[in-house]
Amino acid sequence: MTNKPKPPTSNPRGNIWWDNLEFDVSQENLPAETYKEFLEAIGQYIKTKNQDERPVEVIVKALGEPPVLFALKGNRAPETEPLSRVVDAGSFTYNVKYEELFGLGTGAKLADTIWDLFKNGDIVPQRHFQGKLRSGRNFFWGTPTRTLEPLCDTQEIRKNEYAVHPPEKADDVATEMRNLLGLSHIAEGVGLYRIDIPVEILEQVKICAPTTLDSSPLCVFLPADKTTRYGWTLNLTNLQPGAEEVVVEPIDFTADFKVTQIGFVRGPLPNSEEVWNALETIVKDRLAKQEVD
């Protein structure tokens, strides 16, 4: 790629992020106009940023104000198929009508209380699900359900049930799922839910392969190349590309979703430096190969 703009950061994570963005451009994953707009936004933030602000924060701010400016802009769209989203127990609380139904206050124990209520069958999807499936940037990440089925079948998640059987395998599933999906922000002891979204609902919404502009310098991620319509996670177990992933516009959270309570992550995150070094190697190798080609 020629005329590569100078990365606005000397931070290694920022450089990885910028190399991923360069790869996106080389693979035509982004509209040229979107890339131009982002460079302009970065330039403006560099001029006006606070001296105490870290360079990586400049990228985060340029991506997030307004929150939908650079999200869901990818050129590649996968075929519509069932998708799943894995969320931590704290995030799941936003989609449950807990205040009016259970009289719960807010606080650290809320996620634990809802976990127990769900486990006991006291949360009824038709009555208690609410809000939208979304993140703070007004979209959410998902993975094809088929990528989770081999793991779930092996660990005995039964069809039409909402928990792992036998129970002693639940934490193994949660740990393997955390690692496969590269959820590097989820620490040991956090509970996970799997949310399955029917294809009929997904036919009505925008789905595309994630670009670097959907990600953050703080998360591990690999954008699509010309051979695929999906981005990739970094598997935290073997530090290689893990599962395919997409980004999806917000969807009303209703009883049409199947929510399975997985278990608690039992295992520390791998060494952060090793994770980022592995990601950097993959990113640079992909970029170098593209330049040769």
* Residue-wise DSSP of 195-255: EEE-HHHHTTS-EE---GGGS-TTS--B---TT-S-EEEE-TTTSSEEEEEEEE--EE--T
Model confidence pLDDT, tens digit, residues 162-205: 777 778 889 999 999 999 999 999 999 999 999 999 999 999 99
**Mean pLDDT of the 101-119 span:** 76
3-state secondary structure of 13: helix
Higher pLDDT, 8 or 280: 280
pLDDT at 147: 92
Tell whether the model's pLDDT for residue 285 goes beyond 90.
Answer: yes
Query: H or E element: which one contains 263?
Result: strand 258-264
Higher pLDDT, 39 or 45: 39
For residues 252 and 125, what is the distance between their CA atoms, to the nearest angstrom? Answer: 13
Tell whether the model's pLDDT for residue 133 goes beyond 50.
Answer: yes
pLDDT at 163: 78
Tell whether the model's pLDDT for residue 235 goes beyond 80.
Answer: yes
For residues 176 and 172, what is the distance between their CA atoms, to the nearest angstrom? Answer: 6
pLDDT at 52: 60
For residues 145 and 154, what is the distance between their CA atoms, to the nearest angstrom? Answer: 15
What distance lies between CA 48 and its chain's CA centroid?
A: 30
